[in-house]
Structure 1
Amino acid sequence: MGAPPYARIVADIKRRIADGKLRPGERVPSTRQLARDWGVALATAAKALTLLAQEGVVVAEPRVGTVVAELRGGRGAEPRGGRGAQSGGTARRSSLPEHELARERIVRAAIEIADAEGLAELTMRALAVRLGMATMSLYRHVGGKEDLVLLMFDAAIEDFPLPAEPPAGWRAVLETSARLQWAAYRRHPWMAGITPLSRPLPSAGLLKHSEWVMAALAGTRLDATAKMNLQILVYSYVQGIAANIELERRARAATGLTDEEWLSVQGGRMRAITESGRYPAFAEFLAELGDFDLDLDRLFEFGLRPLLDGLAAIVEGR
Structure 2
Amino acid sequence: MTAIANHAQQLAAAGWEIFPLRGKAPLFKTAHPQGDPLWGVCKGTCGRIGHGVLDATSDAETVRQWWRQNPTANIGGRVPKGVAVLDVDPRSGGADNMTALVREHGRLPSTLTVISGRGDGGRHFYLRCPDRPLSGAGLGSGLDLKTHAGYCVLPPSIHPDTGHPYRMQDGPRRPERMPDWLLTLLTPQAPPQRPPAKVVTIGAGPGIADRYSAEASWNDVLGAHGWRCAGGDGDSDGSRWLHPAATSSVSATVRHGLLFVYSPNTPLPVTESGNPVGLTRFRAYALLTHHGDMSAAAKTLLGRVAA
Question: Where is the strand percentage greater, Structure 1 or Structure 2?
Answer: 2
**TM-score, structure 2 length as denominator?**
0.28
Question: Where is the helix percentage greater, Structure 1 or Structure 2?
Answer: 1
**TM-score, structure 1 length as denominator?**
0.27
* Bigger CA radius of gyration: 1
